[in-house]
Chains A and B, each alone.
Chain A
């Protein structure tokens, strides 16, 4: 099946620093990717939609200047948490949809997630 990878799988950083998380589609092209945030024992909250070659679309309440998204190619989207603070500690998950094609139809595939801890 389709594979979506994320790097790093976990990261610990100091407050005030920036952290970049990569999301890659390994065997398919994704013009759109989604970034989610998951708090412990809670559901996924959609943060933004990443669009290849154009600006990301952010959900209400998500600070676009704090969570910078760049979709530089058809297989890579990055999320940069700028000036991170302890309240940004969370599990960040990306996904990419496949519509039609051989692998599946109308299905999103999720990365394994990145655990961010801000000290």
Chain B
């Protein structure tokens, strides 16, 4: 079945450091890929998404590229801020609007 493997945390960084969170997936066909973020005490928010190979999703300085050849969707940000401290979830959906399979989540803490 479909699955998502995500880099385990926790990850602790200093402000302005470079952040990478690895995510690989197993799925049949052409799934849509997502990154969701959960800030402390809040619900999940969509951070970015990509629906086909070589698409790049971007938002709030974060980027991720849908790589079908490596079945990956790694999340990157060039210069993190304290406000980026959150739990990040990689997820896939086998087709439009259908149920998501989530990775385990990566806790990121950014220190001033």
User: Do A and B share a complex?
Assistant: yes
The secondary structure that dominates the A interface is strand
B61-103 interface mask toward A, CB cutoff 8 Å, 1 = contact, 0 = none? 0000000000000000000000000000100010011111111
Task: Give the CA-CA distance A98 to B45 in the complex, in Å.
Answer: 14
A54 at the interface (CB under 8 A from B): no
Interface size on A, as a range, is: 20 to 34
9-53 of chain B: CB within 8 A of chain A = 32, 34, 36, 42-46, 49, 51
Q: How many chain B residues touch A (Cβ–Cβ < 8 Å)?
A: 23
Is B105 a contact of A34 with CB atoms below 8 Å?
Answer: no
Task: Please tell me if the beta carbons of B46 and A109 are within 8 angstroms of each other in the complex.
Answer: yes
- B107 on the interface (CB 8 Å rule)? yes
Minimum CB–CB distance for B64 against chain A, Å? 15
B104 close to chain A: CB less than 8 A: yes
Contact status B97-A32, CB under 8 Å: yes
Q: What is the bound-complex CA distance between A109 and B49, given in angstroms?
A: 13
- Is A49 in contact with B97, judged by CB distance below 8 angstroms? no
Q: Tell me whether A106 and B44 are in contact in the complex, defined as CB-CB below 8 angstroms, given that A42-B104, A43-B104 are known contacts.
A: no
Q: What is the minimal beta-carbon distance from A103 to any residue of chain B, in angstroms?
A: 11
Q: How far is the CB of B102 from chain A (nearest CB, A)?
A: 5
Q: Which A residues are within 8 Å of any B CB, using their own CB?
A: 32, 34, 41-44, 46, 49, 93, 95, 97-100, 105-113
A-B residue pairs in contact (CB < 8 Å), sample of 10? A43-B103, A43-B104, A46-B99, A46-B100, A100-B96, A106-B93, A108-B97, A109-B46, A110-B36, A112-B43
